[in-house]
Amino acid sequence: MTGPRHYITTTIPYVNARPHLGFALELVQADTLARHHRHRGGQVRLLSGTDDNSLKNVLAAEAEGVGVREFVDRNADAFAALRDPLALSLDDFIRTSSDPRHRTGVERLWRRCAAAGDLYRKEYEGLYCVGCEQFWTPDELVDGRCAEHGTEPQLVAEENWFFRLSRYADRLHDLITEGTLRIEPAARRNEVLALIAGGLHDFSVSRSHTRARGWGIPVPGDPEQVVYVWWDALGNYVTSLGYGSDDPAYEQWWAAGDRRIHLVGKGVVRFHAVYWPAMLLSAGLPLPTDILVHDYLTVGGRKISKSGNGTAVDPVSLAAAHGTDAVRWWLLRDVPRVGDADFTTERLTARADADFAGGLGNLVHRIVTMVHRYRGGSVPPLGTDRFAVATLLDVCREAPGRIDAALAGFDFRRAVDAAWDILEEANRCIDATRPWELAGAERRGNSDAAERLDAVLAALVTACRVLADELRPFVPESAARIARQVTSVDGVLPEAEPLFVRLRERR
């Protein structure tokens, strides 16, 4: 394999509750990017995992009256089990509390930053939001409450280890403005630059062993403290590759890789675009190349929350009820690049029915039926009279480049639109060329009509094949179904079959 090396990661969610559709969005986006780059001949490594070592998990386990280990394992399993229902082509899945690669890597990262002189002990008193797992300054709160969770943070006073974030403000600013560290969309990049311009404060990177209930990775050389869960969690992006345990593998994908791409939700931008790059600079490691930020899903206008405010939507049940590709398709086609998207089951099924059974299914069925009716199932040569199909062939030829550009800009909707233009142009081509009339003229001995019918049918089948090929990263199973229908076996296309069942008739 020689194509460019893309290392693509999702965030690793806390396992304080079961997964919801909001995280499925990130997983499906990351998987689509991974499949896309593999499809174009790149080398890809796709990682997800779970963030086990948080105090939030400890408190959730206590509230449920089960042991932390049992609780974390059970919920982490639920995240790992998203792989099949969402058709995720994961290469790796890391669990921070049990993966032997993780702890040694986090310890090494800590020691490297300590050796750089960036870790020091300090008495500290601050307002801690357990939901965020972070300290907030009073001016960052809204009416004394966490803006993200709406809860009052607790006052915590203890001696912690601190990381000299302030030292890296100028370099981070330069790396982001010059595009070495790319943050998309632009509004998020500006948000990070504003945060840096406002002044970066050193942040606490350990917790007392007691407050952490003994859960987490002990600070190297200071067992009375455990490593702050965000420091621990961010480390997964390199520990999973073998940083600290298998250096050649780490080198291959991180240090010597072409792109290091993190997909993150808008709520955790500061951790990924400020804290993490600063930690890497301190440790003397390369930075991520791309931080791609998605907004949130809402249900009926309310943010989806794992911890039960009635808006949790289970991606596994959705996929079981409506199909994996229906879920992927809604997430990729209807969620805008910027701005929250509102989910309802009605929207998901309406979209799937309109586009699968209505759009793709109809088009492919019509075309295959015509090839059988007029050419005995064998796809004719494109011939020389391509005037009537020139636009369709152009759209097919341009689609891959448009999809590449859209995905490079982290715009899944625009990528899907580029593929969809093939379908729309194919339908226009059928309406404009009226193949049934060409067939009638051919029967009356018109050889021009016969040649034109050849060209039209050949171009339409080509369009279906390109469509199937280009849709593969987005809806792998449906794309494969279309590909089978338009692939000749012994010189003949398979008989036309209905490819998609309408979801709303099935219910």
- Whichever of 146 and 200 has its CB closer to Zn ion, that residue is 146
Report if residue 265 touches Zn ion, rule: CB under 5 A.
no
In the bound complex, what is the minimum distance in angstroms from residue 132's beta carbon to Zn ion?
3
Strand pairing report for 297-299 and 341-343: parallel
- Whichever of 305 and 391 has its CB closer to Zn ion, that residue is 305
User: Mask 109-148, x = binds Zn ion (CB under 5 A)?
Assistant: --------------------x-xx-------------x-x
Q: Which of 74, 83, 149, 502 binds Zn ion (CB under 5 A)?
A: 149
| Nearest to 382, CA basis, from 16, 374, 390, 19 | 390
- Whichever of 40 and 149 has its CB closer to Zn ion, that residue is 149
Residue keyed to tokens 């780059």: 37
203 by DSSP, 3-state: which?
Answer: strand
244 by DSSP, 3-state: which?
Answer: coil
In the bound complex, what is the minimum distance in angstroms from residue 33's beta carbon to Zn ion?
29
227 by DSSP, 3-state: which?
Answer: strand
In the bound complex, what is the minimum distance in angstroms from residue 149's beta carbon to Zn ion?
4
DSSP summary character for residue 480: H
- Whichever of 148 and 246 has its CB closer to Zn ion, that residue is 148
Residues 462, 500 contacting (CB under 8 angstroms): no
In the bound complex, what is the minimum distance in angstroms from residue 271's beta carbon to Zn ion?
13
DSSP summary character for residue 163: E
Give dist(CA 63, CA 14) in Å, integer. Answer: 16
**Residue 88, CA distances (Å) to 35, 49, 80, 202 in order:** 9, 12, 10, 38
In the bound complex, what is the minimum distance in angstroms from residue 339's beta carbon to Zn ion?
22
| Nearest to 274, CA basis, from 212, 355, 201, 351 | 201
- Whichever of 312 and 388 has its CB closer to Zn ion, that residue is 312
Give dist(CA 137, CA 51) in Å, integer. Answer: 25
In the bound complex, what is the minimum distance in angstroms from residue 128's beta carbon to Zn ion?
9
Residue keyed to tokens 């062993």: 209
Q: What does the DSSP assignment read for 75-113?
A: HHHHHHTTTTTTT---SEEEETTT-HHHHHHHHHHHHHH
Residues 371, 455 contacting (CB under 8 angstroms): no
Give dist(CA 270, CA 88) in Å, integer. Answer: 27
The vertex-75 CA angle with 239 and 237, nearest 5°, equals 15
In the bound complex, what is the minimum distance in angstroms from residue 17's beta carbon to Zn ion?
15
DSSP summary character for residue 349: H
In the bound complex, what is the minimum distance in angstroms from residue 135's beta carbon to Zn ion?
10
- Whichever of 132 and 399 has its CB closer to Zn ion, that residue is 132
- Whichever of 141 and 285 has its CB closer to Zn ion, that residue is 141
Q: What pairs with residue 161 in β-bridges?
A: 121
In the bound complex, what is the minimum distance in angstroms from residue 130's beta carbon to Zn ion?
8
The token pair at 399 is 């689609």
Q: What is the largest CA-CA distance in the chain?
A: 94
In the bound complex, what is the minimum distance in angstroms from residue 164's beta carbon to Zn ion?
25
Going 329 to 334 to 337 to 339, the CA torsion angle's sign is: negative
The vertex-364 CA angle with 360 and 368, nearest 5°, equals 175
In the bound complex, what is the minimum distance in angstroms from residue 55's beta carbon to Zn ion?
12
Q: What pairs with residue 265 in β-bridges?
A: 294
Total residues contacting Zn ion by CB under 5 A comes to 6
In the bound complex, what is the minimum distance in angstroms from residue 48's beta carbon to Zn ion?
23
At a CB cut-off of 8 Å and minimum separation 6, what does 9 contact?
A: 30, 46, 47, 48, 237, 261, 262, 263
- Whichever of 149 and 259 has its CB closer to Zn ion, that residue is 149
- Whichever of 27 and 146 has its CB closer to Zn ion, that residue is 146
Give dist(CA 201, CA 320) in Å, integer. Answer: 47
In the bound complex, what is the minimum distance in angstroms from residue 143's beta carbon to Zn ion?
14
- Whichever of 134 and 245 has its CB closer to Zn ion, that residue is 134
Give dist(CA 5, CA 1) in Å, integer. Answer: 9
- Whichever of 148 and 385 has its CB closer to Zn ion, that residue is 148
- Whichever of 98 and 307 has its CB closer to Zn ion, that residue is 307
Query: Site residues for Zn ion, window 422-451 (CB under 5 A)?
Result: none
- Whichever of 149 and 502 has its CB closer to Zn ion, that residue is 149
Query: Site residues for Zn ion, window 365-424 (CB under 5 A)?
Result: none
User: Mask 285-314, x = binds Zn ion (CB under 5 A)?
Assistant: ------------------------------
By the criterion CB under 5 A, which residues form the site for Zn ion? 129, 131-132, 146, 148-149
